[in-house]
Amino acid sequence: MSALDRPLDVVGLGEAMVLLQAPSFEDAATASVHVAGAELNLLAAVARLGLRAGLCSRVGNDPFGRRVLTAARTLGVDTSLVSTAPEPTGVFFKELGADGARRVHYYRSGSAASRMSAVDAGRALAARPRLAVVSGLTAALGPGPRSAVQHLALGADVVALDPNLRPHLPPVDDLLLTLLPQVTYLLLGLDEAGPLFGTTEPAQVFRRARSAGVREVALKAGADGCYHADDGPAGFAHLPSAATTVADPVGAGDAFAGGYLAARLVGAGPRGAAWLGSRLAAAVVATPGDTEGLPSAAEAAALLAAALSR
Which parts of this chain interact with ligand KDG (CB under 6 A)?
Answer: 36-38, 41, 137, 166, 250-251, 254, 290
Any catalytic annotation for residue 27?
Answer: no
**Nearest distance from C-beta of residue 233 to ligand KDG, angstroms:** 34
**Nearest distance from C-beta of residue 87 to ligand KDG, angstroms:** 17
Is the Cβ of residue 42 or residue 183 nearer to ligand KDG in the bound state?
42
The distance of Cα 7 from the centroid of its chain, to the nearest Å, equals 20
Is the Cβ of residue 166 or residue 271 nearer to ligand KDG in the bound state?
166
Measured in degrees and rounded to the nearest 5, phi and psi for residue 84 equal -95, 130
**Nearest distance from C-beta of residue 137 to ligand KDG, angstroms:** 5
DSSP code string of 227-259: EEE-SSTTSEEEE----S--S--TTHHHHHHHH
Sheet holding 226-229, edge to edge: 78-85, 53-60, 10-13, 131-135, 159-162, 185-189, 216-220, 226-229, 236-239
**Nearest distance from C-beta of residue 38 to ligand KDG, angstroms:** 4
Is the Cβ of residue 41 or residue 241 nearer to ligand KDG in the bound state?
41
Give which of 4, 52, 59, 22 is closest to 37, Cα–Cα: 59
Give which of 207, 147, 202 is closest to 179, Cα–Cα: 147
Is the Cβ of residue 36 or residue 187 nearer to ligand KDG in the bound state?
36
Q: Tell me whether residue 179 is exposed, middle or buried, using C-beta atoms within 10 angstroms of its C-beta: 0 to 12, 13 to 18, 19 or more.
A: buried
Query: One of 9, 248, 254, 290 is an active-site residue; which one?
Result: 254
Q: Which residue's Cβ has the minimum distance to ligand KDG?
A: 36
Residues belonging to the active site: 254
